[in-house]
Amino acid sequence: MNSLLSKYDFFIFDLDDTLYPEIKYLDEAYKNISEFLAKKTKKKSFRIHKYLIDSFKETGRSKLFDNMFNFFGIDTKFLESILEIMRTYEANTKISLYSNMYTLLPIIINSSKKVFIVTNGNVIQQKNKVNNIEWKSLENEFKKKPSNRSFQYIKKIYTIKEDLTLMVGDSIFDKEYAENCKIDFMFIEEFNAIKN
């Protein structure tokens, strides 16, 4: 970590599956959705929840709800309601970061470095995730990664220098974002593997 601290003044992190496991957010959201649908359709809540979790793990979020409606024979009229649940539910307990982040982030911050979070997805849902992991809401919204518009804003406000900035993420979109911003990039696994 000391080598990174001596090289970089600014650290940009992706949110989902970089700072915390997104499945923790999705698990509770899907539980709330399945309970809502069970009340409306008389389908078994636990079966809907299991379907959503298993399908997300196997094939991701693309057409997840369309496939669920088809699989269970549920009317798509509930789509807006379940999207609202997905984006706005309040977690029963706050979602924890990956345990090593509780060590690494304070080291970075206490070394007088700046830390930013740049994330994709539905703005309302991403803000809700941020609130559910005990952080204040994000102040600004920009075009999704890999566009560099969010970085240009951060750069203007904080006078960031590209050669002193590191982006840490978990996807090719994060890497492309770093390339578009002309900053260095590390996958989260590589970042976590760095000792002193």
Q: What is the pLDDT of residues 143-184, one digit of tens each?
A: 556 667 777 777 777 788 889 889 898 888 889 988 988 999
Are 100 and 69 in a shared domain?
no
Asked if residue 64 has pLDDT above 80, the reply is yes
Are 51 and 103 in a shared domain?
no
The two structure tokens encoding residue 180: 């578009």
Which pLDDT band holds residue 140 (cuts at 50, 70, 90)? very low
pLDDT value for 94: 84
Domain boundary among 69, 88, 107: 88
Residues 70-88: tens digit of each pLDDT: 999 999 999 999 999 999 9
SS3 at position 16: strand
Residues 103-128: tens digit of each pLDDT: 888 888 778 788 888 888 888 888 88
Q: For 20, which DSSP code?
A: B
Q: Alpha-carbon torsion 22, 28, 34, 37, what sign?
A: negative
Are 99 and 184 in a shared domain?
yes
SS3 at position 35: helix
pLDDT value for 145: 63
Are 101 and 122 in a shared domain?
yes
Q: Higher model confidence: residue 70 or residue 94? A: 70
pLDDT over 70, % of the chain: 92
| Pairing mode of beta strands 165-169, 10-13 | parallel
Asked if residue 68 has pLDDT above 70, the reply is yes
Q: What mean pLDDT is reported for the chain? A: 85
The two structure tokens encoding residue 163: 């050669």
b/e map of 151-184 (b: 16 or more CB within 10 Å)? Answer: beebbeeeebeeeebbbbbbbeebbbbbeebebb
> How much is the average pLDDT of 11-29?
91
The two structure tokens encoding residue 103: 């060590």
What's the domain count of the chain?
A: 2
Q: State the Cα–Cα distance between residues 44 and 88, nearest whole angstrom.
A: 23
Residue type, 126: Q
Which pLDDT band holds residue 101 (cuts at 50, 70, 90)? confident
Domain boundary among 63, 88, 113: 88
Q: State the Cα–Cα distance between residues 102 and 85, nearest whole angstrom.
A: 29
pLDDT value for 195: 63
pLDDT value for 30: 96
Q: State the Cα–Cα distance between residues 145 and 45, nearest whole angstrom.
A: 35
The domain of 12 spans: 2-20+95-193
Domain boundary among 33, 58, 88: 88
SS3 at position 104: helix
Q: State the Cα–Cα distance between residues 118 and 160, nearest whole angstrom.
A: 15
> How much is the average pLDDT of 44-70?
95
| Closest listed residue to residue 118, CA positions, set 64, 28, 180 | 180
